[in-house]
Amino acid sequence: MHKNRNKNRTQSPIKGITKSTVNLSGNAIGKKVTLSGADTQNIEKVTKLMVDVIRRQRRLWRKELNDWQASRFARYQAEVPKTYLMQELYQDVMLDGHLTGITGNRTLRTTNKDYIFTIDGIKDDALTELIKDKEWFENIIQWAHESTYYGYSLIWVKDFEKGNIKEVELIERGLVVPEHKVLLYDINADKGIDYSTIKDILLYAQFYDNVGLLEKAAVYTILKRHSWGSWDEFEELFGIPIRIAKIASQSETVKNEVAGWLEEMGSAPYGVFPIGTEVDIKENSKTDSFNVFFQKIKALDAELSKLVLHQTMTTENGSSKAQGSVHENTLEEVIYADEKKELAFLNNRLVPAMRLLGYKIPDKAKIAVEKTTDPNDQIKIDGVLLGAGYVLTQDYIEETYGVEVESMPGATQEVKKPDNTKKR
């Protein structure tokens, strides 16, 4: 099937597979709809197009706990799970700044590494050039890792030629049903493409469970949003002193005039009022009431850090260096697990797909992470070696420490002995 490059693929319902063709393009995958002047009276055709467009519009209103419960109910249906509501919820909760920071922190610790091709454990520079500094490869490793939070990622090799991937695209996660390995025609459809049969242009990534960490994070972010809103109301009520004007006149015109002056004062420290007007400023005597909201937000941020990073001290101030080291070691274990998942995806999914797309990659070739050494640690090791009498080469020193060495100490040089003979 990979030899046919017209992008026609097998169509399948969730249960069973039927042979037909489908084109991976258009607004509705596999159900491309076009309208012309003759179709204006075709109610069914117009309705299908409008409904499909409306369903794909992201709903921007704020998600609450009842939205979280409804999306979980749809996601965990036994026969035909619906993932669109859950993924829409995830997009909303990712607006949280702290959650964005810690998920980005965890992802960058995996993606900001140098991925190389190796053969029998030795780096192959020619093969590494196939993925080095390639935008499509950077997108793939990022989207694959984000499956940790969203549950899964289905990546489409959108544009390519033999031996050259040009562009990749992340398919909307709400159209994917990972339990049945189906890419739905639209969010309410029961049928779609069996993506498990497509090994070259569809890459499925799932690092952990197919629901994702954001299912648990959603509750914390929603509660946190409530606290921010309550704090904002508290600020309006008690943050700014209340100004009360007392006037002798009972005239409604005078009352409205003075009220307008109070409103126009804003944050100005002065105002001009008629004789007989007293302005009384009521300040809030409870200076620590904000802690109710502040401490709750801090607690929710800490819970999010524990959920995503399995610790808190790499994002908050630690109490001691020893505790900070323990937390950093915990995070390193999480990153190591992510790295193994990333390499498994690259070698089991991406590399076979690259071969099908015309890349000449030997069977023994694998993608690995290039090991880099901290110069501060390496210089201690090299010091021990030098102290034991070992000789380090100039190439090794330049490559390890990124410096240019003009000459090496102890190099044999021709030394001219002084001529002590006296001329007569």
DSSP annotation string for 253-266 = HHHHHHHHHHHHHT
Residue 415 is assigned to a structural domain of this protein: no
**What pLDDT does residue 272 have?**
55
Residue 76 is assigned to a structural domain of this protein: no
Asked if residue 225 and residue 173 are part of one domain, the reply reads no
Q: Which of 260, 281, 302 is the last residue of a domain?
A: 281
Asked if residue 196 and residue 316 are part of one domain, the reply reads no
Residue 175 is assigned to a structural domain of this protein: yes
pTM: predicted TM-score of the whole model, two decimal places: 0.69
Asked if residue 136 and residue 224 are part of one domain, the reply reads yes
260-311 pLDDT, tens digit per residue, is 766 666 655 555 556 566 666 665 565 566 678 788 888 888 999 999 988 8
**What pLDDT does residue 150 have?**
96
Asked if residue 364 and residue 216 are part of one domain, the reply reads yes
Domain count, the chain: 4
Residue 250 has pLDDT above 50, yes or no: yes
Asked if residue 390 and residue 361 are part of one domain, the reply reads no
Asked if residue 147 and residue 98 are part of one domain, the reply reads yes
Asked if residue 230 and residue 310 are part of one domain, the reply reads yes
Asked if residue 396 and residue 261 are part of one domain, the reply reads no
Residue 86 is assigned to a structural domain of this protein: no
Asked if residue 300 and residue 173 are part of one domain, the reply reads no
By CB atoms closer than 10 A (0-12, 13-18, 19+), residue 106 is buried
Asked if residue 298 and residue 235 are part of one domain, the reply reads yes
**What pLDDT does residue 206 have?**
95
Mean pLDDT for 313-320 is 59
By CB atoms closer than 10 A (0-12, 13-18, 19+), residue 324 is middle
Mean pLDDT for 46-66 is 63
Print the domain residue range for 329.
Answer: 94-151+211-242+290-372
Q: Which residues contact 94 (CB under 8 A, 6 or more apart)?
A: 100, 103, 214
- In this prediction, residue 20 has a pLDDT band, given cuts at 50, 70 and 90, of very low
**What pLDDT does residue 18 have?**
37
Asked if residue 43 and residue 7 are part of one domain, the reply reads yes
- In this prediction, residue 213 has a pLDDT band, given cuts at 50, 70 and 90, of very high
Name the residue with higher pLDDT: 202 or 273. Answer: 202
For residue 193, the 8-state DSSP code is: E
384-397 pLDDT, tens digit per residue, is 888 888 888 877 77
Average confidence score pLDDT of the chain: 77
**What pLDDT does residue 354 have?**
95
Give CA–CA dist 230/407, Å, rounded.
Answer: 68
**What pLDDT does residue 51 have?**
56
Residue 83 is assigned to a structural domain of this protein: no
Residue 117 is assigned to a structural domain of this protein: yes
Asked if residue 391 and residue 315 are part of one domain, the reply reads no
Q: CA separation (Å) from 371 to 31, 115, 368?
A: 47, 9, 9
CA angle, residues 206, 209, 214, in degrees to nearest 5: 100
Residue 103 is assigned to a structural domain of this protein: yes
**What pLDDT does residue 64 have?**
85
Could you give the percent of the chain with pLDDT greater than 70? 66
